[in-house]
Amino acid sequence: MMNRTEPGRRGPYDTAMRRPIERTERFGARRHRRRAVRSSALVLAGAALVSCSASPEIVDLVIENVTLIGSPGAEPHAGTTLVIDGGRFSRLLDAADPSPPAALTLDAEGSFATAGFWNGHVHFTEPVWGDAASADPDDLRDALDAMLNRYGFTSALDTGSDIENTLALRDRIDAGELAGPRIRTAGGGLVPPGGSPAYLEVSLPELDTPEAAEDAVERVLDAGGDAVKLFTGSFVGPGRTAEMTVEVASAAVATAKRRGARVVAHPQSERGVRTALEAGVDVLAHTAPNGGPWSGALVSELVAAEIGLSPTLKLWRYELGRFGVPEDVIENVQAAARQQVGAFVAAGGALIFGTDVGYMTDYDPIDEYALLREAGIGFDEILRALTTTPERYYGDPASGGTVEEGKRADLVILRADPRVEIESLARPKWVVASGRIAHGL
Ligand SMILES: [Zn+2]
């Protein structure tokens, strides 16, 4: 069996991203068995048995008849054909254009498509992720699908896990062994003195001086971190918050920025939000509803500082419910969180979708979408929070975040118009991550 990458064989996108042909064959053959796809068995056999260069026109995947919402705010384009090859969108065609022969051709009539989603707040800390370097691939496949793939998340920021383990998982995805999201990681999280969160079983590195902060940030980035997570405020017990000083947080941020890494803050309280703001962090990993509504002045400062915000609205109900907090108190907290998100977005703030799954064992994002709508957030803003904004903060807008020729083929095919049925975002029909089917077939 051939197993070569043949650089330069099929146009501009097939060098670094080209998968070994062996994997392409398995991909095509398996899909062909399970689905009535239009690629002929002969074509698949050709790809498998003949020299690869003998079938230069066969692309990896064609999806026809989709209504494309290529970017937030874009006019939907009915009858689009998406041509995916070498992990990229190689061409976007109109219905009148003939489709190229493909290892797999799917008819998506009646469906809508958007770029793949980011979940900007996840954790790989549950037992199933343990020892990711050697864990059974089927177990990891199931876990990736359960938490991320089935919901359309083709990119994820890990905001607190064992960094070596997360990197091992990432390597297995990037090597093509597992279908899953692109993973970015912030390592394990850094806390103020005595500030390991009461809800975690682990103790996190405590930053008591600016020098300690610099060292700790260097260690996270040396270990392979893409970002750094600071607990500018940390829940250490009922009614008690440990707070990081602005001086320490500022030292951590300066070190991260010098190395080109983003800083994400868990704020916990309004003081924690202010510390994050004054230190210059990039993103708040949560709203901070137990501090009550945000003032217009605070919101203006956050927006002017271009701080991104991951709402995690569902998390508050989940957490408070777990501890038996009365319903009226839960509703007050939820109302404060909705106010914070609503005011932030109304002022032009950058929302980054994130749900804290992995910590929260209920992975389904459907409630988060509903809560965002209740907070007054419209579809375009939600799509922006799922795609272009997180790509700008954590990824590379030149190569992802929208459906355009040449960009990474991260794609979500939806059963209904998400502008009308926001819930459809949580129930994708098919999910494509870096050109591979990650869910649905
Ligand atoms: Zn979290």
pLDDT tens digits, one per residue of 72-119: 999 999 999 999 999 999 999 999 999 999 999 999 999 999 999 999
Position 20 pLDDT exceeds 90: no
243 in Cβ contact with 275 (< 8 Å): yes
414 in Cβ contact with 424 (< 8 Å): yes
Mean pLDDT of the chain: 89
- Output the pLDDT for position 43: 35
- Output the pLDDT for position 12: 29
Segment 37-70, tens digit of pLDDT: 333 333 333 333 333 444 558 999 999 999 999 9
Given pLDDT bands bounded at 50, 70 and 90, which one contains residue 28? very low
148 in Cβ contact with 185 (< 8 Å): no
DSSP-based three-state secondary structure for 276: helix
Give the CATH architecture of domain 117-394.
Answer: Alpha-Beta Barrel (3.20)
Domain ranges of the chain: 21-116+402-439, 117-394
Choosing among 3.40.1380.10, 1.10.1200.10, 3.40.50.300, 2.30.40.10, the CATH entry for 21-116+402-439 is 2.30.40.10
268 in Cβ contact with 247 (< 8 Å): no
Alpha carbons 17 and 220: distance in angstroms, whole number = 28
- Output the pLDDT for position 48: 36
In the reported structure, the alpha carbon of residue 207 is separated from the centroid of ligand 1 by a whole-number distance in angstroms of 19
In the reported structure, the alpha carbon of residue 380 is separated from the centroid of ligand 1 by a whole-number distance in angstroms of 25
Alpha carbons 65 and 408: distance in angstroms, whole number = 20
- Output the pLDDT for position 56: 58
Question: 80: which 2 tokens?
Answer: 């689009």
Question: 174: which 2 tokens?
Answer: 């990037």
Phi/psi at 66 (nearest 5 deg)?
Answer: -110, 150
This prediction's pTM? 0.87
In the reported structure, the alpha carbon of residue 122 is separated from the centroid of ligand 1 by a whole-number distance in angstroms of 6
In the reported structure, the alpha carbon of residue 123 is separated from the centroid of ligand 1 by a whole-number distance in angstroms of 6
Given pLDDT bands bounded at 50, 70 and 90, which one contains residue 398? very high
Element (H, E) at 210: helix 210-222
Residue 438: closest CA among 140, 41, 57, 37: 140
- Output the pLDDT for position 10: 33
Q: What percent of the chain has pLDDT over 70?
A: 87
In the reported structure, the alpha carbon of residue 228 is separated from the centroid of ligand 1 by a whole-number distance in angstroms of 13
Query: Around Cβ 76, how many Cβ atoms within 10 Å?
Result: 16
